[in-house]
Structure 1
Amino acid sequence: MKRLGQLLALGLILALVSGIWVARGAMQVAVGYSAKQLCSAVFVSGLPEAFAKDRDIMPRMAILGPLLGSLEMDTNLADGLVSASLLGIHATAVHSAGRGCALHAPGTGVAPLAAPALAEAGPAVPDEWVAAVDAAFGEPESAEGARNTLALLVATNGDLLLEHYAAPVTDQTRLQGWSMNKSLMATWVGMQTQRGNIDPSQSLVSLLAGETDLPELDPRLTLLHLLQMESGLDFEEVYGPGSDVTRMLYTAPAMWKVPASSGQAYVPGEHFAYSSGDTVFASYLWQRSVEEPYEDWIAREFSGPLGIESLVAEADASGVQVGSSYAYLTARDWLQAGQLWLDAWHGRSALLSQSWLRASVAPRSSDPQGQYGRGFWLNTTGVAFEGLPDDLFYAGGNAGQYVVVIPQWEMVVVRLGLSDPGVDTGMHEFLRTLALRRGQGG
């Protein structure tokens, strides 16, 4: 009986320790997310602090339950710092010039960025589109959460057809694309490949020659495997306390080392598994290939030729661009990126080759559903948007970020927002409306 009591006591102690460990992990994610998102919203996007808290941070931190009231955030505009704390757990994000906000970076930062130059006013929403735009910005009935559409743009043949925003967002507001950064990263790797500065089919063991303190990697693993989400690395895209992706994004100073150290779960090229870790690792390899501050390369090679002035691609604390998640552009500049992808698909871009883009939007044998290519989501047999063209492809990101390219329509559609989990973003219905209008000759 005494032995049983000892075992029960030990079990209770282990359960308590486990619970504390899980709770600590949850709080680390909470303060990390809060500090990083508030910093980027205020210093990069130029959004009001209250808006960022009300529309982004607090709805996502509702998972804290009764602890939510103990979450504290502080913004220091002069020193470029945002801190968050929760029951003794702290995180700080630092805003630096050219690289946005980085979590856990040392030192102090700089004041908020100026807004991009004021653009000419876009076209008023045509009368025949008012109902569709109102529906896209409207809140769905009986939804548990908010749609929060912030920007909606449509261009055909390179001309802006309609443009609409929800205050306080304007055409000067840099907006986070979340995983649309993955499509940018695939583009930047493609550009470096064209220049002969990197061979994405080369073994990562060769690409990382000279790198110290690295775990053993499968010699068959390549950069293409990373971009195509078929690395086979033992990295899970599960968002929870202590998970691979939350540990990478909210606790690791050098994020790429988390997936690089995860080990091999599958043979490279045989198994599709969506992984921010794959793209973060790919970003490190791309950055090694540019041999200069990455923001300088982006400004000269990508933004400049496209006339993009707003792009801020944020780094982690080690200075590596977080290629999975942290690029900010105005809605119009996201549209410019989409136009590049459309032009490349048709073979009329000097910046990105048709062969690279077409390979990037071709389904992979590792993905039986045909839903993903190389940094882009696909619509193979209507897998993403039923009833829309099969050649449709798109950059997609958390909370309802879309840059949709429809080659046969010569169309690019941008939708940006802060949609709560599980809430219909309204994108499919809006695209169906576009299809209907085309059928009517509108």
Structure 2
Amino acid sequence: MLVVFCLSSCKVGRFFVYNVADIKDHKIFANRTVETGDSTFYFTQGIEKKPDSVVFDGETFDFDQFLKKQKSVAFMIIRNDSLLYERYFRTYDQEDIIPSFSVAKSVTSILIGIAIDEGLILSVDEPVTKYIPELKPNGFDKVTIKHLLQMTSGLDYNEGYFNPFGNVATFYYGTKLRQEIPKLKLKYEPGEKFEYLSGNTQILGLVLERALKDKTISEYLQEKIWIPLEMEYDASWSIDRKKNGIEKTFCCLNARARDFAKIGRLYLNKGNWNGKQIVSEKWVEESTKVDRSEGSPRYYQYQWWLPSDQGDYMAQGILGQYIYVHPEKNLIIVRMGKKEGKASWWKVLTDLGKAY
């Protein structure tokens, strides 16, 4: 009975059973369904275009072989709304659910932008303690929503993935996130230093939940993104506990590759979806520009990665989940993986961006 209890509620027990992040993790957590609407948007089927070959580790591979060898399960290339390449590997197909992992951070950022557009959150310059006053005793009055978005909050959080007693295990496998967030402390002054920490995005999740008041984050995603973007399939968002849980906003949005591609299309079109402004153009621009102020690095902005000087940007998750957007080329690439593989995906994606 003790073993059963630990498996169901103890973060350490769950850590040792499930160990590290896995592509099937969406099956082990409680979740909320995010439903699609009555209409569906489909990319146009174009003439297939892919690289002839890829040289990797001194060997030359066919592009399909390369993707399979690098543990990919889905890969899509879309230009001008035309699907130029779509492949699935390792028994996966277009209907298989794939967890987003940290790609969800970028989606959380979109929802924060929409909430600002609607006046539910007034500004990125608001202190986080306006929404989470429990953090005041820990010095968070100086931490703004922008600091969280930029990962420059100064948060004291261990991003190590192999410590069963660390913050990642607590946030990923734990069942009391609302109680854990007020325990967080700072180790740097806000705005001094960039440090990629999932705790920042989970704090954003609690800010968003409290701003929404009578809606869950999943309901907001469904209303503001999933239905308007005419997603092909229902999705789900993993929560920390079955009863009255909160969405794990730093990870754990579960969907299909084709629908992840539509997130890219939304930003490619500056927040507009077929004539309807879903999130403001200003927010998209702020989220994807280079900003070196207040400790921010060149390569990260509002939960989006900026991999090169081409004006491109991407959402990225552990195991090699990517939504890559190259506005100048009107290009979207989605890569979903069972594992990251040994490839440098930043280089692969930016090289493809140059080539198309």
Question: Offset at 1:425?
Answer: 5.5
How far is 1:218 from its partner?
2.4
Q: Give 1:71-110 correspondences, 5 Å limit.
A: 93=28, 95=30, 98=33
Alignment check: 8 A CA contact 1:153 1:163 kept: yes
Partner of 1:326 in structure 2?
252
Shift of 1:25: 8.6
Letter in 2 for 1:278: N
Q: What CA deviation, in whole Å up to 9, does each residue of 1:238-274 have, x standing for no partner? A: 2222222222222x32225435422111111221110
Larger Rg: 1
Aligned match for 1:194, one of 117, 126, 133:
117
Measure how far apart 1:220 and its partner are: 1.3
Gaps of 5+ in 2: 1-9, 55-60
- Once the two structures are superposed, residues 332-356 of structure 1 have per-residue CA deviations (whole angstroms, 9 ceiling, x without a partner) of 1000000001111799760111111
SS in 2 for 1:153: strand
User: Equivalent residue for 1:311?
Assistant: 235
Find out whether 1:174 has 2:93 as its counterpart.
Answer: no
2:297 aligned with 1:377:
no
Higher relative contact order (CA 8 A, sep 6+): 2
Percent of paired sites with the same residue: 21
How many Å separate the matches in 2 of 1:222 and 1:368? 14
What amino acid sits opposite 1:249 in the alignment? Y
* Stretch moving more, 179-188 or 265-274: 265-274
Give yes or no for contact 1:182–1:325 (8 Å, CA) kept in 2.
yes
* TM-score, normalised with respect to structure 2: 0.81
Which TM-score applies when normalising by structure 1? 0.66
Q: Which residue of 2 aligns with 1:419?
A: 339
Q: 1:168 to 1:94 in 2, by over 3 A?
A: same
Contact 2:41–2:230 (8 Å) recurs in 1: no
- Shift of residue 96 of structure 1? 5.2
TM-superposed deviation, 1:120: 7.7
What is the match of residue 234 of structure 1?
156
Of 200, 222, 225, the residue aligned with 1:302 is 225
Q: Could you tell me whether the CA contact under 8 Å between 2:201 and 2:249 is conserved in 1?
A: yes
Over 3 Å counting, the alpha-carbon distance change for 1:25 and 1:165 in structure 2 is closer
Structure 2 partner of 1:293 = 216
**Equivalent pair of 1:215/1:261 in contact (CA under 8 Å):** no
Structure 2 residue corresponding to 1:153, chosen from 62, 76, 86: 76
The SS at the match of 1:288 is helix
Distance 1:391 1:345 in 2: 16
Aligned length in residues: 331
What residue is the counterpart of 2:324 in the other structure?
404
Give the aligned residue type for 1:159.
S
Given the alignment of the two structures, is residue 435 of structure 1 paired with residue 329 of structure 2, yes or no?
Answer: no
Secondary structure in 2 matching 1:306: coil
Q: Note the residue ranges of structure 1 that are not aligned, 5 or more in a row.
A: 1-23, 42-92, 100-112, 141-145, 383-388
Aligned residue for 1:151, secondary structure, equals: strand
Given that 1:175 and 1:416 are in contact with CA atoms closer than 8 Å, whether structure 2 keeps it comes out as: yes
Q: After superposition, what is the alpha-carbon deviation per residue over 1:168-214, rounded to whole angstroms, capped at 9, x for unaligned?
A: 211111211110000000000000000001123211222235x6x97
Could you tell me how far apart the structure 1 residues matched to 2:82 and 2:63 are? 23
Task: Report the CA distance shift for 1:130/1:122 in structure 2 as closer, same or farther (over 3 A).
Answer: farther
